Structure 1
Amino acid sequence: MMLVGPIKALAENDSTAEVKKVELTVQQKSELAALHKEILEKRKEVINKYVQFGVMTEEKGKKVISHLEEHYTKMEKNGFIPKYDKHHKKHHRE
């Protein structure tokens, strides 16, 4: 319960923080690509286990994996720099 206060304060500060344009080096992009790929593969393993154990259908599993792969492709296209959607900020202010 005590953690809610500091976390909320940090979240509020993030919404007003200035976004800086950052360019990553080839090595930095490569390191991030490897980490994101590893995360993608592990998440796909988890989804496949859910399907295997009957927690979700095969159709749902394929849909989730497709979404994860699309997200990875988008991150790759953006040079592994996350793009924060302005739409989400409006939602959190309401």
Structure 2
Amino acid sequence: MKKFFVICLTACSLFLVNLNHPAAQENKAKTESVQFTDAQKSEIAKIQKQILADKKILIEKYVEYGALSKEEADKMVSHFEKHYKMMEEHNFQIPPHRPHTGHMHK
């Protein structure tokens, strides 16, 4: 019985110590967004457009080699284009990371 009590007490104390750990509080900190200048936005847009074009070429190669169907490729390209438009609407800000700790996966 003594062993069980000591193990429970140790586990509880370790749990309480981890509550104040800086890494646990780091997730709660809100990231600030940066306001890009027009020159920075145009440079990021140029790079993002190049990435989009490269992804389209890659998907076309997968279709050519038979790894994807044309319908799957069209769906993927459509998704990439929607993502680019969303990034453009949000001034190319990186979306905040959403921690997965609040989700209950069953």
Report the TM range for the smaller structure's normalisation.
0.7 to 0.9
1:45 to 38, 41, 57: 57
Instruction: Return the letter of the residue paired with 2:27.
Output: S
What is residue 61 of structure 1 aligned with on the other side?
73
Which consecutive unaligned segments of at least 5 residues does structure 1 have?
A: 1-11
2:96 to 75, 78, 84: 84
Question: Paired residues, what number?
Answer: 80
Distance apart, 1:22 and its partner CA: 1.5
Distance 1:31 1:42 in 2: 17
Distance apart, 1:24 and its partner CA: 0.4
Distance 2:72 2:65 in 1: 13
Give the TM-score of the pair, scaled to structure 2: 0.67
**Which segments of structure 1 move beyond 6 Å, counting only runs of 4 or more?**
none
Distance 1:78 1:57 in 2: 32
Percent identity between matched residues is 35
Distance 2:62 2:78 in 1: 15
Give the TM-score of the pair, scaled to structure 1: 0.75
User: Which runs of structure 2 are paired with 1:1-80 in the superposition (5 Å)?
Assistant: 15-80=27-92
Q: What is the root-mean-square deviation of aligned Cα atoms in Å?
A: 2.1
Q: Spell out, residue by residue over 1:60-89, the C-alpha distance to the aligned partner (whole angstroms, 9 max, x if none).
A: 00000000000000001111112226xx42
